[in-house]
Amino acid sequence: MNTQSDVLRDIQIYADNLQGLAWAPDEGGLDADEILSMFTYRDAIQDTIEQERLSPADVFRVTWLDDILRRYASAIVRQVDLASIRRRSNPSIIRWWWFLDEMPREPFRLAVPELATAAH
């Protein structure tokens, strides 16, 4: 079982890896081993979330970091063969970060009818 300091370290490493993508998303960013490592740290964080042992503030931070990861999905997919990485680690399908190459490119948006603004 990870301690609180282990989890905070994992979150920081996850954030640092994402920063590596931000520095040079089209110039190599992270290699396959670094992506594998980042996803493995994300798995450890998810284990802690599922055990309900992460503070709301830390869950918010992870959610914010996940949004950053989604923004870099295209760059990751261009740089590494995620299917090959998945074969090495055999992740659960519910751990979405392992399947960035299979996610839709555009986020799902609900169709919301526009409200009439004219007075009757």
Domain annotation covers residue 113: no
List the pLDDT tens digit at each of the 120 positions of the chain.
568 788 999 999 999 999 888 766 555 567 888 899 999 999 999 999 999 888 999 999 999 999 999 999 988 898 899 999 999 899 999 999 999 999 876 554 444 444 444 444
Where helices occur in the chain by DSSP H, the ranges are: 4-23, 32-50, 56-71, 73-79, 82-89
Domain annotation covers residue 119: no
Domain annotation covers residue 37: yes
Q: Say what the pLDDT of residue 32 is.
A: 86
Residue 100, SS3 per DSSP: helix
Q: Say what the pLDDT of residue 118 is.
A: 47
- pTM for this prediction: 0.80
Radius of gyration of the chain (CA): 17
Domain annotation covers residue 110: no
Q: Say what the pLDDT of residue 21 is.
A: 80
Q: CA-CA-CA-CA torsion for 31, 34, 36, 39, nearest 10 degrees?
A: -120
* Residues 51, 6: Cα–Cα separation, whole Å: 14
Domain annotation covers residue 116: no
- Cβ-contact 36, 88 below 8 angstroms: yes
Q: Say what the pLDDT of residue 107 is.
A: 52
Residue range of the domain that includes 81: 4-102
Residues 6+ apart with CB under 8 A from 87: none
Q: Per the structure, how many domains does the chain have?
A: 1
Domain annotation covers residue 112: no
Q: Which two tokens stand for residue 29?
A: 């960013």
Domain annotation covers residue 14: yes
* Residues 66, 98: Cα–Cα separation, whole Å: 12
Domain annotation covers residue 114: no
Q: Say what the pLDDT of residue 112 is.
A: 47
